[in-house]
Amino acid sequence: MKSSDDGPAGTLSIGALAARFGLATHVLRHWEAMGLLHPGRDAGGRRRYGADDLTRVATILMLKDAGLGLSTIRSLSATIDRGTRHAILRPAAEELRSRIAAAQASLELIEGGLNCAYEDVSQCPNYRRLITERAGPDVGPESR
């Protein structure tokens, strides 16, 4: 980090914080406008980010990776009530479970193709079973 990025009491400039997480500075400004970040300001009015801000940025990124949108993250960060937190997270958890199940089914199909000894993967019994499970008995390769 350049010495010009070091601020009072170990704070970071917007550029230094953005670089630390591989973000563009406009992303941090947007998150601030949404109420997700509340950086301090130096005497010149420039944003200064401390250790709590680093934790917030890491948390936002992890929640985004989990599939939560910024408005949901804002709602979540604005509450300390357990019931409200559960009401916010429950639908997100269900959506994530659904995405995991879909990804698992896709992986099973791909691995089936990798393990298939047939020239034509559609002739593999495992492939046929997976297609029938997904689409129903009247849609798989055996209905052709």
Q: Please tell me the distance from the alpha carbon of residue 49 to that of residue 118, in angstroms, as a whole number.
A: 59
Q: Please tell me the distance from the alpha carbon of residue 18 to that of residue 24, in angstroms, as a whole number.
A: 6
Residue 7, pLDDT score:
57
The full set of domain ranges for the chain reads 1-78, 94-144
Q: How distant is the alpha carbon of residue 40 from its chain centre?
A: 27
Helix (H, G, I), strand (E, B), or coil: what is residue 41?
strand
Cβ atoms 44, 7 nearer than 8 A: no
SS3 assignment for 59-104: HHHHHHHCCCCHHHHHHHHCCCCHHHHHHHHHHHHHHHHHHHHHHH
Q: What is the pLDDT of residues 11-43, one digit of tens each?
A: 999 999 999 999 999 999 999 999 999 999 999
- The helix (H) or strand (E) run that includes residue 48 is strand 47-48
* Residue 110 neighbours by CB distance under 10 Å: 10
Lowest-confidence segment of 35-49, 55-69, 75-89, 110-124 by average pLDDT: 110-124
Q: Please tell me the distance from the alpha carbon of residue 64 to that of residue 60, in angstroms, as a whole number.
A: 6
Class assignment of domain 1-78? Answer: mainly alpha
